Structure 1
Amino acid sequence: MTTPRRVLVGAVLLAGSVALGLAVAVSLFLNSSRTTVLVGHDAVVRPTMARDAVVQTGPLLPDFRFRDVGAIGVTITLGKTEVGSIEELVERYAYIAGDPAAPVEKVQGVVVDMAVSAAIRGLGVGLLPVAVFLLLGRHRRGQLFRGMRTRQGVLAAALLAVLPLLIWQPWQSREETQEEQGTWQTLAELAGPDVELPAEVRDIEVRSGPVTTQSKRLVLSAIDTYDKSKEFYSTAAEGAADLAVRQPEDGETVALLVSDRHDNIGMDRVARAIGEAAGATVVLDAGDDTSTGQPWEAFSLDSLAAAFDDWDRFGVAGNHDHGTFVSTYLADEGWTMLDGEAVDAPWGGTLLGVDDPRSSGLGNWREESGLSFTEVGERLADAACAAADDGERVSTVLVHDANLGREALARGCVDLVLGGHTHVQSGPTEVTGEGGESGWTWTNGTTGGAAYAIALGSKPRRDADVSLVTYADGRPIGLQWVRLRTDGSWLVGDWSPIEPG
């Protein structure tokens, strides 16, 4: 075979492989689906070419459609969730819609993953003809091409041409469904001229077929909740930029302490704004990010992870974060979840922490299970004192309940214990250890503004707190609390210097 002919054959083979791989990749992508947890539901995400995002909510609530979301659209089918009533479910949608960045980012990530997976599979199929071409060799390829001129060869080529059609079966018809019989109308059309809607939701469409008077009332109630929630937390986040919080000096590092969020995702952007105002670059999470620790609460963890995705992030699970779901999920999102061993901290010292032992499924110390609160506190103190004996005094112990670090303070092995749990700010309190070394304890209030384990709402149910911890030369030197009140006003505590030693 002459060189020009080889080049031509190679070009034709390459073009055919690329076309085949692209066709297979696009087909696989458009027919793929991925199950994830979204807005508290098991949800199935499917890409479409419609450029719209359609949320199928099930038989009891109307479907929603967001127009022109991008070059690729999606259909999201919501499945099972934990909820007490339809009203509670609709309110949850409204709260999440008030700060939708995390679920939107999650859907985008799922679609990108499906596209990459389809592209890799398409590449594999596209390379198949090249592999067969090379495997046959020149002599066998000649025999094959000569065989194509025979009656059997023509029959084989015809079967190969018909095979994709048999697999596709385009002649199959689908029955009309109730979903297809409905029509779309905007929320503005649904609400009517007498209802004032936020500008950003007026063009969202709902499927009008199954919308009854009752579901219309629920939708309008959700819009009212959404409007109040978005306005309250947006105003709070903007106001945080002007707070009179202490600014770090050269060589200092500021960490933002959050605790007891209890699913209140509205406070995440507010907490971030407070941290930015104070020059914070580290977030410490003292637990109780959820109310039950169940997978349906992943929306809360998605929001937390998105709010602080470019900070140094450390955390422990609280007593309401039942089981291992919360810790595992945040670890997968890039958080350092403390497990009883000291780790290097961004401020130059060391950080130690452990999940709350009262949480169902927790209370284990590495491979040992069934330890009590007191026993875990003693093990934590053992670890802190062992680090101190090795010349690496622990600058901070992060726990859900500050009482878990009481033994470590009593032995004089740590500089500072940080916690939450009580939903009431407390400290700083100095504790003198056995050898005369002093340490401090500090308890943050509830960042979610939670009453008991419930924080979801158009505003905090009680005052919402975060704390700012200042470090220098690897050790804590001061603390300050910031509080958002239920009426939207602010309280900022004095910066309290501490001198552990």
Structure 2
Amino acid sequence: MTRSRLRKAAPWAGLVLLWLVVSTTIGLLGFANDSERVTIGAHAATVSPTFDGHATLDLGAVLPRLRLKTDLPADLGLNIDIQETDADNLTELLNRDALIASQPDGEIARIREVVREMAVDNAVAGAGSGLLAAVVVATVWAMLGPRRRRELFVLLHSSERRVQHRAVVVLVAMLITIASIFGPGRMRAPEVAPTEWRPLSALLPELSFDERLRSVEVASGFSTTGGIGVIRTAVETYERSTDFYGQLRDRVVRVGGRIHQANPGETVALLVSDRHDNIGMDPFAAEVAEVAGAKVLIDAGDDSSSGQAWEVFSINSLAQHFKDLKVVSVAGNHDAGGHIEDAMRKNKFTVLDSKPVEVEGIRFLGDSDPTRTGLGSADSPGDETTAEQSTRLADVACEQPEDKRISTMVVHDPASFADTAARGCATLLLSGHLHRQVGPDTKVVDGKPVTTFTNGTTGGAAYAFALGYTLRRPGEVTLITYSQGQPIGLQTVTAELTGEVTVGAYRPLSS
């Protein structure tokens, strides 16, 4: 009975084993030879998996290759081939790279996502190939039938010696073929010695290194020694950035006692605007949110400077630092072009698009800025003007029933909420754009309080570009306290040019 069951189960077990072997082989081979073109920081880049346990950055012929350990299972590593950029010169490029490297969490998360997608895609392809192989074998097995299979079995055993001889000949032929393909390259002496790797700290012993940089290794060679001045400049920029923004983050804890704490049943949101690529401020803003117990991030736009594809690193950083918060956002005039909004949606932000939505019990309405503005270029109109947007959003807000009144309107330019404020159809109206704080100003319209508030630049931007190892003007975030979905108080927290942190007074809002 047991033998009969085993005989019946054997074909199925064989098919499962076949599926597993083929799936694993095809999946691993596909993954090992896969690559993906992505945008990382200020560059286009090609990411491909390796199994050397390191993340290796190939920076081209002029600058040396860098690598650091990944500490991933199965010695999984990455090769990142850094390619073209839109930077105008080498100095600008190095400053961008060093400053982005000082806050790499968003880009690291993006690379992990890319590798995970490649692994899933190849696993699916492997599973499909294994299933196809199993189906073909099962079909052939069924088509032969029991009688023909017995005949083939008898025939095989009756000519067993001849089959063995043929198998030996085939095996020897395969070995000769493999040796002819791979042998010559193995037998030739390499013209170039294998790459030697040196710790970055050994290359620049006069500089101090944080824990992250101490694990970085540099490929020895002409590009390393010839570009040592370039490397030193990049490391110094990196160190200045990490020191300045790291001190800002640490000082939030010191002033945490001055930050208003929400009562039970209340919800806190953090408002940011006009970051203009300055991801250095994200750890500071995230620390403020954590101290205040915020559950929602409100982003009033201008996260980038020109809306280019390479600037999605700014959104990746925001998503990584606020991954535990719900994010409600609009794009600003410097975010136009679609890349920034696409990155927001890909990171699961709630991007306001003229329809009321409810997040954490707060009823929002808003839209991205219709104006298009590049870095240093004049405004160009979009599908509508800000005045037309203001009228259209006011019509939507004023159509809402009283029990679904808009609690918070979010736009980038304060001109876009002017009509809603004048008609009294929202309780709190938020914006950015001006790079300076305006309000909070409260007026009573038809017996209801209406408060307008414009947040100062979170990125510390004087103009449209704020990425740097210091601030160009104070960087501001605002905490908004809600009760039962309605705003009841505002409080600003400001990073000063000196590196100090100032906490504004908590301002109750009229209800």
TM-score of the aligned structures, taking structure 1 as reference length: 0.89
**In structure 2, C-alpha distance between the alignment counterparts of 1:386 and 1:457, rounded to whole Å:** 44
Number of matched residues?
Answer: 487
Match of 1:301 in 2: 315
| Aligned partner of residue 451 in structure 1, secondary structure | coil
1:186 aligns with 2:188: no
1:43 to partner: Cα distance: 1.3
Farther off after superposition, 456-465 or 177-186: 177-186
1:138 to partner: Cα distance: 4.1
Q: Cα 1:177–1:478, aligned 2, differ >3 Å: closer, same or farther?
A: farther
Q: Cα 1:30–1:213, aligned 2, differ >3 Å: closer, same or farther?
A: closer
> Any stretches of 5+ residues in structure 1 without a counterpart?
362-367
Identity %: 36
Which of 297, 309, 312 pairs up with 2:326? 312
| Aligned partner of residue 42 in structure 1, secondary structure | strand
Which of 249, 271, 278 pairs up with 2:263? 249
**In structure 1, C-alpha distance between the alignment counterparts of 2:163 and 2:206, rounded to whole Å:** 75
Farther off after superposition, 276-285 or 143-152: 143-152
| Aligned partner of residue 439 in structure 2, secondary structure | strand
| Aligned partner of residue 254 in structure 2, secondary structure | coil
> Any stretches of 5+ residues in structure 2 without a counterpart?
375-380
1:116 aligns with 2:129: no
**In structure 2, C-alpha distance between the alignment counterparts of 1:15 and 1:23, rounded to whole Å:** 12
Which of 43, 46, 49 pairs up with 2:48? 46
Which amino acid in the other structure matches residue 41 of structure 2? V
Match of 1:454 in 2: 465
1:267 to partner: Cα distance: 0.8
1:336 aligns with 2:338: no
**In structure 2, C-alpha distance between the alignment counterparts of 1:92 and 1:399, rounded to whole Å:** 29
1:357 aligns with 2:361: no
Match of 2:39 in 1: 37
1:213 to partner: Cα distance: 5.5
Match of 2:25 in 1: 23
Say if 1:315 and 1:335, in contact at 8 Å, map to a contact too: yes
Which of 462, 475, 500 pairs up with 1:489? 500
Say if 2:352 and 2:368, in contact at 8 Å, map to a contact too: yes
Match of 2:277 in 1: 263
1:444 aligns with 2:468: no
Match of 1:69 in 2: 71
Match of 1:278 in 2: 292
Which amino acid in the other structure matches residue 34 of structure 1? E
For residues 169-226 of structure 1, give each alpha carbon's deviation from its aligned partner in whole angstroms, at most 9, with x where no partner exists: 54574999999765322212222x4444335323411122242666211111111111
For residues 467-501 of structure 1, give each alpha carbon's deviation from its aligned partner in whole angstroms, at most 9, with x where no partner exists: 0111112211111111011211111111111115x
Q: Cα 1:295–1:146, aligned 2, differ >3 Å: closer, same or farther?
A: same
Which amino acid in the other structure matches residue 247 of structure 1? Q
| Aligned partner of residue 53 in structure 2, secondary structure | coil
Q: Cα 1:10–1:261, aligned 2, differ >3 Å: closer, same or farther?
A: same
1:141 to partner: Cα distance: 6.0
Farther off after superposition, 12-21 or 307-316: 12-21
Where is the helix percentage greater, Structure 1 or Structure 2? 2
Farther off after superposition, 180-189 or 19-28: 180-189
1:272 to partner: Cα distance: 0.9
Which of 366, 370, 390 pairs up with 2:383? 370
Farther off after superposition, 12-21 or 399-408: 12-21
Say if 2:306 and 2:373, in contact at 8 Å, map to a contact too: no
For residues 355-382 of structure 1, give each alpha carbon's deviation from its aligned partner in whole angstroms, at most 9, with x where no partner exists: 1111269xxxxxx973111111100111
1:349 to partner: Cα distance: 3.7
**In structure 2, C-alpha distance between the alignment counterparts of 1:179 and 1:360, rounded to whole Å:** 50
Say if 1:409 and 1:432, in contact at 8 Å, map to a contact too: no
**In structure 1, C-alpha distance between the alignment counterparts of 2:71 and 2:91, rounded to whole Å:** 28
1:351 to partner: Cα distance: 0.6
Mapping 1:99-498, distance limit 5 Å: 99-138=103-142, 140=144, 143=148, 146=152, 149=156, 169-170=181-182, 173=185, 183-191=196-204, 193-211=205-223, 215-243=227-255, 244-346=258-360, 348-359=361-372, 370-387=383-400, 389=401, 391-433=403-445, 435-498=446-509
1:274 to partner: Cα distance: 0.5
Q: Cα 1:344–1:14, aligned 2, differ >3 Å: closer, same or farther?
A: closer
**In structure 2, C-alpha distance between the alignment counterparts of 1:96 and 1:40, rounded to whole Å:** 9
Give the alignment's Cα RMSD to 1 decimal.
3.0
TM-score of the aligned structures, taking structure 2 as reference length: 0.87
